[in-house]
Each structure stands twice: as C-alpha cells, then as structure tokens.
Chain A
C-alpha cells in the first residue's frame, strides 16, 4: 500500500441493539477505509445501518448498542478509548455534522457560545480567543454578517445558515476526519447544493477526510471519491464513484440507480425496487436483498454472498456477480 495509514479504518463492524424483547442487528460486518483527503459516501435507504456505522466511528451510540469489530479513526483504536481520551477525539480529531440543524443545536445558547464552547473544550483558550475563532469559522463557512450572527440563537437563523453554523462548529478544532450524517437532507433543494459545494470546497482546502452518509445518489455523485452501498447492515457494493454510477454490479445498486428521476424518459414510470427492506430483528440467512432481487437464483438464500473483487478497488457481494460482472465490465470497461 502506498498510504502509510488510513485515516479511518473499519473492519468487520457489528452493531446490535439489544432490547428486552428482541435484538436489532443494525450493522452486520462492515469494512471500509478512508484515506486522508478523500471522501467516502455511504449510500443506502433508511434503516440500512449507515448512520449507525457513522456513529460507531465516534462511539456516539446508546448504551444498549453492542459494538464489535475494529474501528480506528485518526490513528486511535476508537473502541478501546475511555473517558477523556474518547472525548478528546470527539470534536477534536473527528467531528460530526448532523442531519437536522434545528434540533441538533442547543436552542438556549447563541451560535457564538456553542462554537466557542467547543473551541475552549479542545484548546483550553480563553473566552476572547474562542470568540475570535468562532467569528473566523463563521466567515470560513460564508455566513453573511458573521459578527452579528455570533449573538443569534439557532431559531433566529434560516435552515441553510443553521447548517453552516453546524459545519463551523464541527470545523472548530481542525478535525482530520469529518463525519456528515445526511447534512443536506433537511434543507431546500437550492440550499442543498450551496451547502454541498461549501462542504466539498472546505474539505479540499483543509485536506480533511470525510465520510458522508446519504440516501441521495445525486449528492453522492457530487461529493464522493468512493461509494459504499449499504443494505440491511452490510456493504453490498463499493468502489470509485464514477465506476459505480456508470456500471453498477450489485442488483441493489442497479435498482437504486434505476429508481431516480435523472435520465429517465418522461413517459416511462420510474423503476421502483419491489418489496421493502427486511426486518432487522429477523434477518434472512442468506442475501438480505434476495427476496426483492430480480436476479435471484437458487443459492441466494443459502449463505451470505461472498465478496467479489471484479477489478481493483471494487467490491460487490452477490453470487450472481461473476457472470454479470464480466458482461458489464466488457461493455463499459
């Protein structure tokens, strides 16, 4: 390998939510790496385990969650960190942007107080310095009349400005890894693009690694270097964004691509994937997607499909892949 150490490395991650009556298997053996300065997009529908995977990188999960596997972020073994060491990592080297900026910010503190608090927590500087840093950050995320916004409460800002303030807060201690949990989903379409462009620009300028969780293929195409598609707590396909969007190998990825409005003839119905995602309390034994799959064959439900690597940097977990992969790659490759 050319890179000495990846910024984030997840190996065989399992997350279970153990309840009194049943256990939800949210993440079932996820592995990926993110190198410095790169953006990984985790793509999937609600309940696929993408947000849980993201939170596991900071151990931001409730106590009922049982986490197994290896999680390394910014050179630390995240699952072994305790107490202050874990809190130093959170918001210091790894920070997170949440989906809903209205509820993710504390409503009774001003933007300046909330950013300043993060700065002081990690740098130990005084109030005046933290305030100056907060102003600098608001200017970095292009909030107009930044000085005045420092004294604003979250409810006094628009959705787009709130999300920018959230991004400013996440950037306050120059994190090496930025985790973004659907940061544009709750915003208006026009604001979405602005925030997305801002995020990509800042990510490149600061050379951060980023893991971006979304269910929106268009967003993934815009921002990702590599894409990992999740279904029922597993990564079913991963690889460089261009290759995956151009030639999806896994039937689920293909289904996702077919079910978007982009590039469809006007008079044709959008191809929706039939059926619904599986019950995460009782996962089928074999491929979780098999019940909805158009290419289902006999062995699909027998075992979890093994990972195939049809070309360098690409993975797809489907037993129908070998034949299909050859065809697809011949055409596009």
Chain B
C-alpha cells in the first residue's frame, strides 16, 4: 500500500510539470500582446524595449519559462501588470474567497447529491427514482448564471432576506464566516454553485448504486441473512470509488470558481480574478492562477485515487 501511495505521488510530479508548461505556453499562444495594456498607444520603440526587458519578455521562451518556474517554486509569481501587487497575494485572496464558497458548497452538494442518488438507486423505476432523476436533470440543465439572477431577484430584491452581491461592507479582508452579518453573503452563491454538482453526483450515485445492486454478490448477502441496511452498506462501499471520482472532479471545478456566478454575485474569487486577468491581458496573474488551480486539481485527483484504492483493493494492483 505504501508503495502504491509513493508511486501515485511520483506520477503526479510529471503531470504537474506538464501542466505548468501548458499554462505558460497557453498565454503566449493566445492572441494579443500583454504589453499593449500597460504601454500608452504612442509609446516609442525604445520604451517598448525597456518595458519588455523589465518583464523579461525579450528572452527566448524556454528561458522565460525556466526563470518563471524557478521563481514559482519559491512562491514568487511576479507582479500583476494591472494592479502592481504581487500575483501571489492576489491568488491567495481570490482562491481563499472561492474556497470559502467551496467549503460550504461541497458538503452541501455531496450530502444532498449522494443521498438523493442512493435513494433513487435503491428504488429504481419507483416514484422516488423518477423524481430524483427529474430534479437532477433540472439541476444540471439550469444555466447557473440564470439561477444566480433569479435567486437575487427572489431572495434579495423581492423578499429582502439576503444580500444580493459582494462580501459585505468591510469587503474581502475583514470577512468572517463566524459573523452572520458577513456569512449571509455566502448563502445565495453557495446554493447556486451547489446545483450542478448536486445533479451530477445524484445521477452518478444513482447509476452506481443501481448497477451494484444487480451484481451477484448482493444475492449472496441476502442469502447470508443480512438485513436491508447491511446490504446497502456493502452496496455503497462497492459503488463509492466511481462516485468519488466524480466528486473529485466537481471539487476541482468548484475551486476554479465559476466566472459567471462570481460575476453575478461580484464575489472576488478565483473565477472573478481569472476573468479580470483575461480582460486586462494580465499575463502573470493568468499564469499563476491557472497553475495554482491546475496543481490543486492534480492534488485532488491524487487524493481521490488514494481513497479509491483504500476502498477497493483491486485498484492497488495497477
């Protein structure tokens, strides 16, 4: 088992490196010149050269990559072209803000989605199954920016129960989830963000449970005299690895922040930061954010892999 864990961690390193290469080059492959946003339109060729040099854009790409990577490992992502603040600080703040949403959205989505799927999978074809499938399809198909706007209209504008946008009067720096006056700003974005994962996880769980319940060993469990609860425990353990894989992906997606949802709620998270960086052609921010999110994604998948192999011994043989 220890060998398997080490093996998986070692595999993750080349993946992370590959991801960093892609992140770095993506920005250069995309059209547009980052210097255009900082330089005045009438800048002389001389000025352009100086600025290029200052940002290191004059060196060949592989060298630029090596310099960038060697700094990145130490946590130095450079300076944001737009705000002139360290990219690292920007990312920490944005990912932290999105993380706050994720911390609430993930347990909500996983528990509701999994329970719905379990219930539906245990009674395939019954009313409960059909309603769960209906709700799940609804959740997956709703455009979440539309849902976000509807939520704002209903709960903020019409009912005035919850605030519409932002993180409260003191902003991101003084935000505390332990104060209701701040935490109430979380409610609408968290619910909106949970909808799609709820639908996807419910459907995955339903399929995995229904399929597992049809396997031969379930009949053996009944023949042993086990009650329905004990049978379901076995079924869940067998169905879990597949569900975990989907949960890991959803976790990763949520961490990346939804550009649309964060824009509607003006939530200064990672999606918001990314969209700003794209608009401003803020290359260092773009590279840094994508890299941090990609590494987080790889890490989550690594954790999911290890969890799966803990549950199902057959995976360890790979």
Contact = CB atoms under 8 A, between A and B. Distances in A.
Interface of A: 58, 60, 84, 87-92, 95-96, 98, 100, 103-109, 117-118, 121-122, 153, 155-156, 166, 169
Given A107-B314, A108-B237, A108-B238, A92 B217 contact: no
B226 A58 contact: no
Given A103-B217, A106-B217, A106-B234, A96 B223 contact: yes
B220 interface: yes
Contacts of B219: 60, 98, 104
Contacts of B226: 87, 91, 117, 121
Interface in B186-230: 215-217, 219-227, 230
A88 B313 contact: no
B242 to A, nearest CB: 12
20 contacts: A60-B222, A60-B223, A87-B227, A90-B222, A91-B225, A95-B223, A96-B220, A98-B216, A98-B220, A98-B223, A103-B215, A104-B216, A106-B221, A107-B313, A108-B313, A109-B237, A121-B224, A121-B230, A122-B225, A169-B220
Contacts of B227: 84, 87
A89 B227 CA distance: 12
Contacts of B222: 60, 90
Nearest to B221: A106
Given A104-B220, A121-B224, 5 more contacts: A105-B217, A106-B220, A106-B238, A121-B225, A153-B313
B312 interface: yes
B238 A87 contact: no
Interface of B: 215-217, 219-227, 230, 234, 237-238, 311-314
A88 B224 CA distance: 9
A89 B225 CA distance: 7
A242 to B, nearest CB: 32
Nearest to B234: A106
B78 to A, nearest CB: 48
Q: Is the interface of B mostly helix, strand, loop or mixed?
A: helix
A100 B217 CA distance: 10
Contacts of B312: 107-108
B97 to A, nearest CB: 39
Contacts of B217: 103-107
B216 A100 contact: yes
A122 B216 CA distance: 22
A103 B224 contact: no
A90 B223 contact: yes
Contact of A90 (B215, B224, B314): B224
Contacts of A90: 222-225
Nearest to A95: B223
A98 B224 CA distance: 12
A88 B225 contact: yes
Contact of B234 (A91, A98, A109, A153): A109
B224 A153 contact: no
A91 B313 contact: no
A169 B217 CA distance: 13
A118 B224 contact: yes
Nearest to B237: A108
A166 B238 CA distance: 19
B314 A153 contact: yes
A156 to B, nearest CB: 8
Given A121-B226, A155-B313, A107 B238 contact: yes
A117 B226 CA distance: 9
A106 B239 CA distance: 12
Given A104-B216, A108-B311, A155-B314, A87 B221 contact: no
A103 B217 CA distance: 6
A275 to B, nearest CB: 31
A91 B238 contact: no
A100 B220 CA distance: 11
